[in-house]
Amino acid sequence: MSKYVALPKGVSETTFDKAIAEFRKILGEANVLTSGAQLAPYSKTMLAVPDGDKQPSAAIMAGSVEDIQKIVGVCNKYKVPIWPISTGKNLGYGSAAPGERGQVVLDLKRMNRIIEVNADLCYALVEPGVTYQQLHDYIRERNLPLWLSCPAPSAIAGPLGNTVDRGVGYTPYGEHFLFSCGMEVVLATGEVLRTGMGGIPKSNTWQVFKWGYGPYLDGIFTQSNYGIVTKLGIWLMPAPPAFKPFCIRYPDETDIVEIVETIRPLRIAMIIPNAVVISSAIWEAAATIRRSQYYSGTGQIPDEVLRDLAKKNGIGAWNVYAALYGSPEQIEVNWNIVKAFFGKSKKAEILTEKELGDNPAFRYRADLMRGDMNLQEFGLYNWRGGGGSMWFAPVSQAMGSETLKQMQMAKRILGKRGLDYVGEFIVGWRDMHHIVDVLFDKSDPAEVKAAYACFEEMLKEFTAEGYGNYRVNTAFMDKVAESYGPVQRSVFRKIKKALDPNGILAPGKSGIRI
Ligand code: ADP
């Protein structure tokens, strides 16, 4: 019997003993966890695979860049793989667990300094452990006129982890990687790289000019395993004098075509400046309602039940959330344009704070669109119950016909195995992130199997139709990497070999290994 709950692939217990002893010397006893009880938070996922598949051998908590440099030295010496996490709240994508059984989780939550917030140039420089709530509080306590952009489970997640995994938010700065500027990265060799202007020793432009000189490197440290990001610059939005969130409801599923056709020109021209959300009826309902209140039969929730639920609760088949930002005068001009566009439709119900002020679904969206913290989206987990969730996230053109096709494909495949279509579209600029939450009961083996099979089938069918996922959970990384073709994969591998010849950093992340 091993004294470890798991061992890294290809590493013997005696070798691992030595690595652990060295980690303890660097970090102290309290920051090196190996017992089953201590590792429980690092092995639990919401995915449709057994938690044992993602069981780490240890979790270690670095406190500084120097700690990390020493840790990668030990990992190279003993060929021990480490999986870095920042706040580890990647729920529905893998949570705090490593990509593969036996990897050591490198938890960076102790590195939680807000190094700088610059209110003149509107940026922040943060470490991995900084949470959105922490940054939000820092800004409010100092009365700085700045707004954050955060993802839906905002308060507990953090800007660095979210941005390096290319997550999105809901303000005009919602495409988070686009609004990041300058990184510090510890490489597998122990070197510390500062990207862009950060290469100039006395530079004060690291957080204001993205490109630096020569090849732009920041991108290769996102959704990758080429380095451990230890600092990230993010741009913050100047707080606008006025803000007008609104909701437009449509009654029928096929209305998605009209919605997207109406929004696209407004969005591309930036009349609507933020990442608009078009949320489906169940997503909307889950803020306050459980599935069992309306349906106890087997199979996918029938359309007529959903229609009844929507009608009784004032929910649309689609619910569009967007906002206008600026001075009251600017907002008035743009509001008239928005009303004229949507007003052409007989079906659109245009609602504002006046009508929906207390509605919890509206409050949740309005908060997100101004970068305020909440955890309302966790309501989704109560819809069916049982703690299973995997995000299926194909990219689509912002064209009505495409979104309808994707929605119908997902709904049909989920329906075959009795799961519901719980989806939303987030309008980027010319693209939409189609986000489908595959919800299932993780304590029911039949539902786990169904969820896995649905995900796999969606991946296959969407790829065959030319659609790719922009991000995926740790159970499907190889399959998504495969869908992007052999040339991309081979280039990723060549870069990996050059930067991390022993393959110690997060092997398997995005399907990349040496
Ligand atoms: P959040 O809690 O914001 O969702 P996580 O900390 O869970 O973010 O990070 C999401 C994923 O991003 C991790 O699983 C890991 O693959 C990658 N990641 C997180 N932090 C780093 C980092 N500092 N350096 C490199 N990759 C990271």
DSSP 65-103: HHHHHHHHHHHHHHT--EEEESS---TTTTTTS-SSTTP
Catalytic residue among 4, 93, 226, 452: 93
* CA–CA distances in Å: residue 267 to residues 136, 344, 489, 497: 27, 17, 33, 41
Q: Does 152 or 1 have the greater pLDDT score?
A: 152
Q: What is the mean pLDDT of residues 3-30?
A: 98
Catalytic residue among 138, 295, 470, 484: 470
**Which atom of ligand 1 is nearest the CA belonging to 88?**
7
Active-site residue 213, yes or no?
no
Confidence of residue 218 (pLDDT cuts 50, 70, 90): very high
Q: Which pair of tokens denotes residue 190?
A: 């122990």
pLDDT at 351: 96
What's the rounded Cα separation, in Å, for the pair 226 and 105? Answer: 16
Confidence of residue 414 (pLDDT cuts 50, 70, 90): very high
Q: What is the mean pLDDT of residues 19-44?
A: 97
**pLDDT tens digits along 364-378:** 899 999 999 877 777
Would you say residue 153 has pLDDT above 80?
A: no
Residue 153 Cα to ligand 1 middle (Å): 14
Round the average pLDDT of the chain to a whole number and report it: 95
Helices within 350-483 (DSSP H only): 353-356, 360-369, 380-384, 400-416, 445-464, 477-483
**Which atom of ligand 1 is nearest the CA belonging to 221?**
25
pLDDT at 361: 86
- Is residue 190 a contact partner of residue 69, using CB atoms and an 8 Å limit? yes
Residue 99 Cα to ligand 1 middle (Å): 11
**pLDDT tens digits along 394-413:** 999 999 999 999 999 999 99
Share of the chain above pLDDT 70, in %: 100
Count H helices, E strands: the chain?
Answer: 16, 19
Catalytic residue among 101, 264, 471, 513: 471
Q: Does 91 or 19 have the greater pLDDT score?
A: 19
Active-site residue 294, yes or no?
no
**Ligand 1 pocket at CB < 6 A:** 84-90, 94, 108, 128, 157-158, 160-162, 164-165, 228-229, 506, 509
Identify which of 68, 86, 109 to mutate to test ligand 1's pocket (most ligand atoms within 8 A of the CB): 86
Active-site residue 93, yes or no?
yes
**Which atom of ligand 1 is nearest the CA belonging to 91?**
4
Q: What pTM was computed for the model?
A: 0.96
**Which atom of ligand 1 is nearest the CA belonging to 162?**
3
